[in-house]
Amino acid sequence: MNSKALLSTLIGFDTTSRESNLQLIAFVRDYLNAHQVPCELIFNEERSKANLFATIGVDDRPGVVLSGHTDVVPVDGQPWTVPPFELTEQHGKLYGRGTADMKGYIACVLAAVPALLAEPLRMPVHIALSYDEEVGCLGVRSLLAELEHRPHKPALCIIGEPTELKPVLGHKGKLAMRCDVHGAACHSAYAPQGVNAIEYAAELIGELGRIGSTLRAAHLQDPRFDPPFSTVQTGVIGGGKALNIVPADCRFDFEIRSLPDQDAHAVAQQLQAYAREHVVPKMQAVNAGTGIRFSELSSYPGLATDAHSEAAKLIAECCGSSEFTTVAFGTEGGLFDAIGIPTVVCGPGSMDQGHKPDEYVSVAQLAGCDRMLERLVETLRA
Q: Cis omega (within 30 of 0) on the bond before 151?
A: no
133 catalytically annotated:
yes
Which of 6, 16, 91, 10 is closest to 355 using CA atoms?
A: 16
C-beta separation of 66 from 160 below 8 A: yes
Burial of 92 by CB count in 10 Å (0-12 exposed, 13-18 middle, 19+ buried)?
exposed
Strands 325-327 and 168-171, bridge-based pairing:
parallel
CA–CA gap between residue 161 and residue 336 (Å, rounded): 14
Coil/strand/helix, residue 231: strand
Which of 13, 21, 2 is closest to 69 using CA atoms?
A: 21
Q: What is the DSSP letter of 133?
A: -
Within the chain, residue ranges assigned H as helices are: 3-11, 22-34, 104-111, 113-118, 140-148, 197-214, 264-274, 280-286, 310-319, 333-338, 363-380
C-beta separation of 5 from 103 below 8 A: no
Q: Which of 71, 161, 332, 358 is catalytic?
A: 71
Q: Which of 101, 133, 332, 337 is catalytic?
A: 133
What's the alpha-carbon Rg for the chain, to the nearest Å? 24
Which of 133, 216, 203 is closest to 174 using CA atoms?
A: 133
CA–CA gap between residue 382 and residue 377 (Å, rounded): 10
CA–CA gap between residue 146 and residue 151 (Å, rounded): 11
CA–CA gap between residue 227 and residue 365 (Å, rounded): 27
Neighbours of 245 (CB within 10 A): 14
Neighbours of 270 (CB within 10 A): 14
Residues linked to residue 121 through DSSP beta bridges, in sequence order: 381
Q: Give the catalytic positions in this structure.
A: 71, 133
